[in-house]
A and B are shown apart, each in its own frame.
Chain A
Amino acid sequence: MTHVPKRLLEFTDRTAIAGVGYTPFSKDSGVSTLTLACRAVLAALEDAGLTPDEVDGLATHRVGDSAPPTLVGPALGLSDLSWHLDQFGGGSVSHAVVGQAALAVAAGLAEVVVCYRAINARSEFRMGGTGRGLPASPEVQYQAPYGYVAPPQQFAMYARAHMLRYGTTAEHFGALAVTQRANAAKNPRALMRTPITLDDYLASRWIAEPFRLLDCCLETDGACAVVVTTAERARSLRRHPVLVSAAAWGGGTSHLSCDDPTVTAAAALAPRLYAQAGVGPADIDVAELYDCFTYSVIVQLEDYGFCPKGEGGPYVASGATALDGALPVNTHGGFLSEGYVHGVNHIAEAVSQLRGEAGDRQVPGAEVALSTAQPGYVLPATSALILRRA
């Protein structure tokens, strides 16, 4: 097994997620991201049974599109936070934010940290790239002149590389979209709850071949928050604690330099993550995997060790990722069907599953969950968490 430094193992299960909070998801929230952030933070505290005055840390990730802790804190009357984090980045860093909050709590810098993501990704800042300005990265100049600018194009490029190398098919991508929609049908919070068939998937319009509309996640207005505190404190609170067993960070795939675009940074991160938690892929009861596009789930199923390299497509098509399969994946419907809150709603769903509170979509007896950030394409970084029912 991968070597894990002793100090890192001391971090295992020291902290917990004690509450989750949501705003409704929509195509137009009608309010600012500051308002969305405040609502989600307060909802998560209410869920945990904590008051705002007990908060001493706030953390978020954003790409210049949302309210930072330095706005949200004062707006909620929290003017002297002992720790905060304003992390640049999109889906690659969502789980890193919660991991860093857990480290801050474990180190004693703060005791109650609320991690949130507030986003008007449909009505204000179209995350899919349609009609907004280009990201400020030096790599963009080598792509933008060719009209290669948006995440659906970039992930479609990697998806085709996988299709060419391993024989992954549109039907494999479609099977994932159909499965996640079936999960969303059981989730009252989900934006897209009408079941779809493989034919519906195949008939959906092209966005960037090989991707169709139903390969792409929603662009959503909404916010989601989770409360991180010590495991000890969490045991005294309202909800059954969910322990942070492992948090890991990793590198990624540069647009301009990459030996094999069909292998993500998750392949290198996974052994560290599992070793930290003392579990392996076979121990994972439920997985909430970053699904900005269908392909990103398929490649992660391989790179997190649930199936051999190149077999992610057939694995999904076999039904293994359905609610009654060997590894239920994206039980809330994911970004494809629940809504897109840049990773935090995946963490919150894992918490609901481990508490046994996921209603009609509950995975019976779920004890250990994997939740992941974007596996390292586009912004060359990734992160992931393993959570465990206390």
Chain B
Amino acid sequence: MPGYRPEPDRDSRAWWDRLARHEFAVQECDACGTLRFPPRAFCAACRQEGWHWRETVPEGTVESWIVSRQPFVPGHRDPYLVVMVRLTAVPGALVYGNWRAERQPEAGERVRGTFTQVDEELTVLDWAPESRIAIRSGENSPVR
């Protein structure tokens, strides 16, 4: 995993804590039921503050991807693939992750999130083709 450590804020800390327990959760508005991501205090649909977590399966479709070949992260010189995924559960939401399959993604293909445990405190969400549902974290290397 070639990235920086995330810096959670007061809106997102609990989301990262859940991810560390290998739970993928989004917020659900108490007032209107709209699901949202990333974590924020207000519902953009009804402008109310009350919400609760809704655990969901991390799945989506491939919107785009890049193969990064410039050392934008100090110390990481090898190419890596970052995928932009449209979340199925939350309309309009885009998420990112490293690609955990030996082939490149395809436009619009269905993908499933896979929890990659970096260390005791940190887990991040990567993505793999949906057909590999039983994928285990770290099973595949990111595409070179």
Contacts and interface: CB of A to CB of B under 8 A. Distances in A.
Given A138-B9, A208-B68, A258-B92, A145 B3 contact: yes
B33 interface: no
A134 interface: yes
Interface string B114-143: 000010001010100000000000000000
Interface in A201-218: 205-211
Contacts of B126: 146
Contacts of B107: 164
Contacts, number: 120
Q: Which of B9, B68, B96, B118 has the most CB of A within 10 A?
A: B68
A282 interface: no
Task: Among A142, A157, A206, A209, find the residue whose CB has the most chain B CB atoms closer than 10 A.
Answer: A142
Given A207-B69, A208-B70, A141 B8 contact: yes
A1 interface: no
Chain A residues touching B, majority SS: mixed
Interface residues of B, number: 42
Given A138-B9, A138-B38, A140-B7, A145 B67 contact: no
Nearest to B36: A257
Given A208-B69, A256-B93, A153 B82 contact: yes
B31 interface: no
Interface string B89-110: 0001111111000000001000
Given A156-B66, A161-B64, A206-B67, A147 B72 contact: yes
A261 B16 CA distance: 26
Contacts of A256: 37-38, 93-95
A149 B96 contact: no
A131 interface: yes
A130 interface: yes
Interface string B7-50: 11101100010000000000000000000011000000000000
Closest 10 A/B residue pairs (Cβ): A147-B2, A141-B6, A161-B64, A209-B67, A145-B3, A144-B4, A164-B107, A206-B69, A147-B3, A150-B72
Interface of A: 129-131, 134, 138-150, 152-153, 156-158, 160-161, 164, 205-211, 255-259, 261
